[in-house]
Amino acid sequence: MPSRSGCGAVGRPSKSLNLEQATALLKASIGSPVRAYIVLSLLTGARTEELRALTWAHVDLIGRPDDDPPTPPSIELWRSVREGGDTKTRLSRRTLSLPYMCVEALTSHQQSQKKSQDRAGDRWVNNNLVFSTALGGRMDAANIRRALRTVAAKAGLDSTAWTPRELRHSFVSLMSDAGVPLEDIARLVGHRNTTVTELVYRKQLRPVMTEGAETMNTLFQGPDDTPKCLP
């Protein structure tokens, strides 16, 4: 059954990587020029159009560790490659703390990009983009898609079956499987409310909420799984 996108158009069936597949993809991306893109997309849930517009001015790889409480490394997702340059909606603007793997991948990526800039010399176009072509220009969707397919094949996945947007789908699925509340997932992916998240990612969200039943089982069942009290 084909899924619908956020705007209601019928599209290809949505899917997401499970934890084993995601781990394999991350491992296979080591040494790839799109390693940082894959890590960032999968571990933060950022939209592909947000990452392609991301500049180093909106990346903080150090944070402020001396603050009380400390301010972690982060990215500001305030722009996109959409017409006008804004994120999908005003409420999509968000600042996300970076997981350790993202900091490591971005640090290495920044160093590699600096070497590319030095080699390019006067041919380099200084757009300050985090993810750029070999001469500093903006990458298009096809660039990212081809590079992802190469890494997916190395990870043992069907290289034709996965697209960059499904890294974001996978983020939602992994967060949901880990028990993160829907309200928190909605804020992380930049949705204005949980209804949008449920509509767009209904196949990635846990279909049955088990926490309540698990808690009640613990409270009202004995060690032999028999009820502690009967009506």
* Cα gap 106→56, rounded to integer Å: 10
Q: Are 152 and 163 in contact (CB under 8 A)?
A: no
Domain boundaries, the chain: 19-220
What stretch of H or E contains 189?
helix 182-189
CATH, range 19-220: 1.10.443.10
- Check 37, 79, 165, 201 and give the catalytic one: 201
* Cα gap 140→56, rounded to integer Å: 18
Q: Are 73 and 98 in contact (CB under 8 A)?
A: yes
Q: What separation in angstroms does the CA of 194 have from each of 30, 87, 94, 120, 138? A: 34, 18, 16, 46, 32
* Cα gap 10→32, rounded to integer Å: 33
35: annotated active-site residue: no
Q: What is the pLDDT along the chain (231 residues), one digit of tens a residue?
A: 344 344 334 455 678 999 999 999 999 999 999 999 999 999 999 999 899 999 999 999 999 999 888 899 999 998 765 444 444 456 678 899 999 999 999 999 999 999 999 999 999 999 999 999 999 999 888 989 999 999 999 999 999 999 999 999 999 999 998 888 888 899 889 888 888 788 777 777 776 556 566 666 676 665 555 555 544
169: annotated active-site residue: no
Amino acid at 165: R
- Check 35, 37, 47, 109 and give the catalytic one: 47
100: annotated active-site residue: no
For residue 195, the Cα-to-chain-centroid distance in whole angstroms is 20
Q: Are 16 and 172 in contact (CB under 8 A)?
A: yes
96: DSSP letter: E
- Check 58, 88, 149, 192 and give the catalytic one: 88
19-28 and 35-44 are packed helices; what angle lies between their axes, rounded to 10 degrees? 160
Beta bridge mates, 64: 71
Whether this prediction's pTM lies above 0.75 is answered by yes
201: annotated active-site residue: yes
- Check 94, 109, 168, 169 and give the catalytic one: 168
47: annotated active-site residue: yes
